[in-house]
Amino acid sequence: MSSIPVTRLRRFRRTAPLRGLVRETRLSLDQFVMPLFVAPEPLANEALPGMARFDLDGLLREVDDLAASDVRALLLFGVPAEKDEEATGAWEEDGIVQQALRALRPRFPELVLLTDVCLCEYTSHGHCGVVVDGDVDNDRSLELLARTAVSHAEAGAHVVAPSDMMDGRVGAIREALDDHGFDATPILAYSAKYASAFYGPFREAADSAPAFGDRRGYQMDPANVREALRECKIDLAEGADAIMIKPALPYLDVIRAAREAFQAPLAAYNVSGEYAMVKSAARAGWLDERAAALESLTAIKRAGADLIVSYWTKDLAAWL
């Protein structure tokens, strides 16, 4: 028997146009979301430009740039001037994110404005909910999360994205939005958000590291995938319009499992640590940032994500 193969997969790999004809996964800017941090004082970040903080003026300039490069969607995070036990800065009418929304919405009517709904940037202790007797109290946190989501919608958010991981938050937010006339505002639930070591650079940018303990009492155990599917299922039953897996690269199997189990739009968050690892390795001369970023983002899509939140969204606009 001849060892010369009849089937030669290399035939379609010979040239770029041949490869293009059979490519299974493509990146397109209209499925990318750029996270942005807004704060009373700007804070540049040369090493990790995606983790810079903007004040309102700086934000408008940055978004001018993003819109001009055809970025379609933003995810806003706020760093308030003051933090307290009730996370007042998260839900007050003139909170920093609410101000940003009111400035952005009329100026960039074509941009999709998403907001992260969580309390950790706004609580004095840095936890994602209300702390009672040293513990994050699930049900007491729901009311503040719902209030935060409504205030974002009132200020002009198109989509609210709860990232707190309290049980029942999607239902509480859906009910509050509907009660306030925002029945058309979608919820993108961070359904399977893991207690991950890859959030480090974010917590510095957002000044949201917990002052005591960690988030393992509410975020998911990295070892679990069936539990992620239960989280997604519950969020969808409570009215989530889209679900999210976070982080992305260490959890491609979870993205794939969610893709196969659910029909809803599926998002993945390519988090700060994933971005920082590539950035620092590129700075050391060990790998090419653009190639590594495009490969990472393609892998996330190939695993089954529809939309991707990534700090590379701005660069992607130039690369594609």
Binding site for ligand PBG (CB under 6 A): 116, 118, 120, 128, 163, 199, 202-203, 208, 215, 271-272
Element (H, E) at 27: none
Active-site hit among 83, 246, 279, 314: 246
* C-beta closer to ligand PBG: residue 22 or 211: 211
Q: Give the shortest CB-293-to-ligand PBG separation in angstroms.
A: 14
301 classed as catalytic: no
* C-beta closer to ligand PBG: residue 34 or 258: 34
Q: Give the shortest CB-269-to-ligand PBG separation in angstroms.
A: 6
Among candidates 264, 256, 271, which has minimal Cα distance to 232?
264
Output the DSSP codes for 263-316: -S-EEEEE-HHHHHHHHHHHHTTSS-HHHHHHHHHHHHHHHT-SEEEETTHHHH
* C-beta closer to ligand PBG: residue 179 or 227: 227
Q: Give the shortest CB-155-to-ligand PBG separation in angstroms.
A: 19
* C-beta closer to ligand PBG: residue 148 or 208: 208
Active-site hit among 83, 193, 279, 314: 193
For residue 126, report the phi and psi dihedrals to the nearest 5 degrees: 75, 10
Among candidates 219, 293, 301, which has minimal Cα distance to 268?
301
CB burial class (10 A; 0-12, 13-18, 19+) of residue 116?
Answer: buried
193 classed as catalytic: yes
Q: Tokens at residue 131, please? A: 């702390």
Residue nearest to ligand PBG (CB): 202
Among candidates 35, 55, 176, which has minimal Cα distance to 115?
35
Q: How far is residue 75's CA from residue 81's CA, in Å, rounded to a whole number?
A: 20
* C-beta closer to ligand PBG: residue 31 or 272: 272
Give the number of other Cβ atoms within 10 Å of residue 304's Cβ: 19
Q: Give the shortest CB-188-to-ligand PBG separation in angstroms.
A: 12
Q: Give the shortest CB-215-to-ligand PBG separation in angstroms.
A: 6
User: Would you name the residues annotated as active-site residues?
Assistant: 193, 246
